[in-house]
Chains A and B, each alone.
Chain A
Amino acid sequence: MIVASVIQHHLNKLRWLVLSGVFALLVLLPFLYLYQTYEAAHAYDLLPPTEKAISDSMEWLTKPFTRDPENDLNSFKGTTWSGTLYGLKLSDPLAVIGQVAATLSVYWPFALTALIPVLLTLLLGRFYCGWICPATLLYELNDNLGTWLRKAGLPVSQRRLNRRLKYLVLVVGVLLSAITGSVVFASIYPPALVGREIYYAIAVSGFGAGAVFFILTLLFDLMVARRGFCRYVCPGGALYSLLGRFRLVRIQRKVETCNDCAKCNVVCQFDLDPLHDDFGQECNNCTACIAVCPTDALSFKLTIKDQTFQGPGHLGHLYRKQQGAS
């Protein structure tokens, strides 16, 4: 039991590790691709010095794992929008929704690549947003920057919008995809943008318009609402929230050990209310609240429903006052 709580306390660090790992992979894959093209061309001696450096470093990286990098590296391709991992094709469910809307039909070989992510989301909720999304890493760093700016005395707005706005974005996106006959989510969905722009920047011809849009979303987060894009606009977040509504794994508060310190509410970037047992479908399992809780009152539980408000924490003064009064 103690071991479990210790592990849960460090999950947030593990999450940062995973996020950084995914991001690093997205940067690495285009370089591996370049290395593949050099291998395919059999022209190492003709490469300019920078490309020789790329070729050498990638050769050093892949040498322990493969003897035929030109073909073997094909089992690692793509981005989180749609990628191949160990030869397994995985796609973002939003990409499938977008394609179904654009073509008005289901292309099963593609739809099935989203099966594993959908099942995981049904079990775990918005875990993709907290643990995998390459944009989340940048948004969280951006949010930290916002905190520093606030400390430095810059007026950083923390407006609250309506959470349901993102469901509207999802619906409008589906309709627009159907009308225009193209997957419009691909142009506004941050993880798709981030993955693609990294690839463009390294292996094609530099950043495209998607990078500009992404920077605008960073500014939106900084100037308008904290983590605003994820919370109010992201169509993927909307989809995952809906899918994860009846998730099986969720964070719950143990009222007996809670002391009402409200650190969990402060640390939650999604502005949820763990102190009052209100996690809802928006929680992205980032576990920041578990990590910050001084009394181990928050932990993951296997349950399909959030608890209704259990009253003030038993270690808090509010509860003691109530007890004294009764």
Chain B
Amino acid sequence: MQRRKFLQACIASGAFSVLPPRLRAATSVPTLRFLRPPGAVSEEQFVERCIRCGKCGEACPNRCIEFFGFENGLNSRDTPYIIPREQACILCMKCGEACPSGAIQPVPREAEAIMQRVKMGHARVDEQLCLSFQGKTCGVCYRACPLQDVAIVVGRLEQPHVLGPCVGCGLCERSCIQIPQAIRVFPSQTRPA
């Protein structure tokens, strides 16, 4: 009985990994919250194009790019990701230049180009946690943002409001002094298009 169950699990997992992409996307539930490097193409295309050479990580001066083992499924093995709370992207755009495979597109390091072509995710403020919304003036996230006053503005008591142009670099989440963080980046690949 034990063995049969084991075999069934093997076959099921085997069948799962060879399902066509569409079916796979429908059956897999994204549980990890990670960002792809800036300039990355859509998630499905990214996994197809990436050749796992690791050059994006080797180009990152901020050491924010890390690589998946098995935790995000077989297909994501050795692909790059960023956990903004650990180390956020500084939008230096060197990974796109280094990437040979086209999985990360090169984007010039200019505000206009970055706002147009980089979409790692979108930051969202949890007003229950945010100190400024609790009457304690903070504003750290606003000051950490590389696109100040464009992607994020502050109102009364430095209460932050994230706007449309936010590219999701995660510097706000990295800098948030509240534990757990009151501002989080929600990755593009897990947001419905």
State whether A208 and B69 are in contact (beta carbons under 8 Å apart), knowing that A36-B61, A77-B59, A180-B18 are contacts in the complex.
yes
Q: How many A-B residue pairs have CB under 8 A?
A: 122
Contacting A at CB under 8 A, from B119-171, are none
Among A79, A98, A103, the residue within 8 A (CB) of B54 is A79
Complex CA gap A181/B54 in Å reads 19
> Which of B2-10, B45-53, B109-117, B179-187 lies at the binding interface?
B45-53
Enumerate chain A residues within 8 angstroms of B69, measured Cβ to Cβ: 208-209
Is A84 positioned at the interface, with any CB of B under 8 Å from its CB?
Answer: yes
Enumerate chain B residues within 8 angstroms of A186, measured Cβ to Cβ: 51-53, 77-78
A78 lies within 8 A of B54 (CB): yes
Enumerate chain A residues within 8 angstroms of B54, measured Cβ to Cβ: 78-79, 195-196, 199-200
- Where chain A touches its partner, the secondary structure class is helix
Nearest chain B residue, comparing its CB with the CB of A103: B48
State whether A182 and B98 are in contact (beta carbons under 8 Å apart), knowing that A196-B52, A209-B69 are contacts in the complex.
no
B67 lies within 8 A of A204 (CB): yes
Is A17 positioned at the interface, with any CB of B under 8 Å from its CB?
Answer: no
B53 lies within 8 A of A82 (CB): yes
Interface size on B, residues (CB 8 A): 36
Enumerate chain B residues within 8 angstroms of A195, measured Cβ to Cβ: 54
Is B178 positioned at the interface, with any CB of A under 8 Å from its CB?
Answer: no
Enumerate chain A residues within 8 angstroms of B94, measured Cβ to Cβ: 74
Contacting A at CB under 8 A, from B42-66, are 44-45, 47-55, 57-63, 66
Is A324 positioned at the interface, with any CB of B under 8 Å from its CB?
Answer: no
Chain B positions near chain A (C-beta within 8 angstroms): 17-18, 20-21, 44-45, 47-55, 57-63, 66-67, 69-70, 74-75, 77-78, 94, 97-98, 100-102
Question: What are 23 A-B contacts with C-beta separation under 8 Å?
Answer: A36-B61, A37-B61, A77-B59, A78-B53, A79-B53, A82-B53, A82-B55, A82-B101, A84-B98, A99-B101, A103-B48, A107-B49, A107-B102, A113-B100, A176-B18, A180-B17, A180-B75, A186-B52, A186-B53, A187-B78, A192-B52, A195-B54, A196-B52
